[in-house]
Amino acid sequence: MYRFLRPLCWLWASPTTALGLVLGLLGVATGGRAQLRTRAIEFHGGLLTTLLKYTPIRAAAMTLGHVIIGRDAKVLDHCREHEWVHVRQCERWGPLFVPAYLGCSFALWLMGRDAYFENPFEVEAYAADEARRAQSDAEPHKD
């Protein structure tokens, strides 16, 4: 079913993706790199490294629509699954994703709570990380 809805998901997320592309291309223009992955276009390095270091949480990576920006390739490898959760969230929320994410963080901050780790968007992404780790730990390892 998703295969038929995929073009609509891309269209719905396109305003946020456009913002990600602008940042990604700025990274490439300043020495960064780009790579196409199944679900997203990834950018890393260049000015993106500095930009991410100066976010309030000193982010290692960030998702904007179908674009994932990261400090470097190793960081992207480490947090790719987490960021793909955010890609799916962007597909659901479309142009409302960034305002909804920031609105949740602001409301949590006003209540004296953790604006990042208690944000429902991050809670979902970290829960997916935990589920993947548990599944990986439960699978037999071939040595």
pLDDT digits (tens, 9 = 90+) for 67-80: 999 999 999 999 99
pLDDT at 133 over 70: yes
What is the distance between the terminal CA atoms of the chain, rounded to a whole angstrom?
38
Mean pLDDT for the chain? 93
Per-residue pLDDT, 141: 55
Instruction: Return left, alpha or beta for 45; rule: phi > 0 is left, psi -120 to 50 is alpha, else beta.
Output: left
Listed range (81-90, 95-104, 125-134) with the worst mean pLDDT: 125-134
Strand order in the sheet with 33-36: 33-36, 41-44, 67-70, 61-64
pLDDT band at residue 142, thresholds of 50, 70 and 90?
low
pLDDT at 105 over 90: yes
CA distance 35 to 50: 19
pLDDT at 138 over 80: no
Per-residue pLDDT, 1: 54
Which run of H or of E encompasses 41? Answer: strand 41-44
pTM beyond 0.95: no
With beta carbons less than 8 A apart as the criterion, state whether 39 and 66 touch: yes
CA distance 85 to 134: 17
With beta carbons less than 8 A apart as the criterion, state whether 49 and 24 touch: no
With beta carbons less than 8 A apart as the criterion, state whether 115 and 108 touch: yes
